[in-house]
Amino acid sequence: MFINGCKVDKDFYQNGAKYWKNVDPTVDGMLGGFAHISSIDIKGSKRFLSQFIEPLQSPNKKKKVIKNDYQVPVENERRALDCGAGIGRVTKNLLLDYFHKVDLLDVNQSFLNEARQHIGPDIYDQRIGQAFCSSLHQFNPSDDLKYDLIWCQWVTGHLTDDHLVDFLHKCQQILKPDGLIIIKDNHTSSDQIDDDMNDSSVTRPHWLYLDLFIKSGLKLVCEKRQYQFPKGLYPVKMYALKSCPSEQLISQKN
Ligand SMILES: C[S@@+](CC[C@H](N)C(=O)[O-])C[C@H]1O[C@@H](n2cnc3c(N)ncnc32)[C@H](O)[C@@H]1O
């Protein structure tokens, strides 16, 4: 298996799953000991997402939101998929403000089990659709699932390049017409890939993400760096992506 030409361990996926099995099902566990950045992370995500879709209930003090030219066309029931959802931190604090129903996808069943408690049993029972336990690269959604938005946060580094491209193709099959995929992840400040043997993941440079988006047939609608994260962490970017005819992708590359 390769990540931009570099061979990764044959046990890349097994080791990743093993690492997460030993992590506490808490916000601190999800954020590698950085629970204190959760609220600033969510604030940045809300600001980003609000460009494309309004929250279900507008906050009392309506902040001025700069709308992107591209808006997700929403119907009666809005539905999102949270990929690498863990205990549902992103779903609870972000996605449920914008979507009536959210499905969860994670490789770790005990995180998914904890999600009911973390999100709150009542809300969970009413608003969480399905909780899929699978690695992203083995996820086999049925064709009748359709989402307005697919959110992938801090999980793409657990996939090889080829599997990430396959997964992003799969996501496009389960998106409603003109739905969005959002990837929020670390990237390296250099042009290089960093690998982490501890949790069996890689951190990609920005250029490699752009390359893989093109290979996946995705157009980059907007990208933004997360502000105010502590120094010493990798920079984090949010990428909003939509399906695109191939001729437009060629011009995106040039
Ligand atoms: C850093 S945590 C982020 C959790 C959540 N997205 C958040 O921001 O709070 C990474 C999550 O990805 C999950 N994960 C790791 N490898 C995965 C894979 N191959 N497929 C699906 N989920 C995976 C882990 O179990 C863990 O819940």
pLDDT at position 62:
65
182 in a structural domain = yes
| Closest CA relative to residue 136, chosen from 101, 91, 183, 205 | 183
The pLDDT of residue 252 is above 70: no
Task: Quickly count: other Cβ atoms within 10 Å of residue 183's Cβ.
Answer: 25
Asked whether the beta carbons of 183 and 239 are under 8 A apart, the reply is yes
Band the pLDDT of 8: cuts 50, 70, 90: confident
Per residue in 32-78, pLDDT tens?
A: 999 999 999 999 999 999 999 999 987 666 677 889 989 998 878 99
Q: How far apart are CA 202 and CA 210, in angstroms?
A: 16
How many structural domains does the chain have?
Answer: 1
Mean pLDDT of the chain: 93
pLDDT at position 221:
97
Q: Is 160 in the pocket of ligand 1 (CB under 6 A)?
A: no
171 in a structural domain = yes
DSSP H or E stretch at residue 173? helix 161-173
Cα 200 to the center of its chain, rounded Å:
18
Band the pLDDT of 135: cuts 50, 70, 90: very high
Q: Is 243 in the pocket of ligand 1 (CB under 6 A)?
A: no
Question: What CATH number has the domain bearing residue 223?
Answer: 3.40.50.150
Q: Is 136 in the pocket of ligand 1 (CB under 6 A)?
A: yes
Identify residue 211 by its one-letter amino acid code: D
Q: How far apart are CA 121 and CA 216, in angstroms?
A: 37
Per residue in 163-212, pLDDT tens?
A: 999 999 999 999 999 999 999 999 999 999 999 999 999 999 999 999 99
Domain of 181, in residue numbers: 6-54+74-136+143-253
The pLDDT of residue 122 is above 70: yes
Give this prediction's pTM.
Answer: 0.95
187 in a structural domain = yes
Asked whether the beta carbons of 70 and 242 are under 8 A apart, the reply is yes
pLDDT at position 129:
97
Q: Whose CA is nearest to atom 27 of ligand 1?
A: 86
66 in a structural domain = no
59 in a structural domain = no
Q: Is 88 in the pocket of ligand 1 (CB under 6 A)?
A: no
69 in a structural domain = no
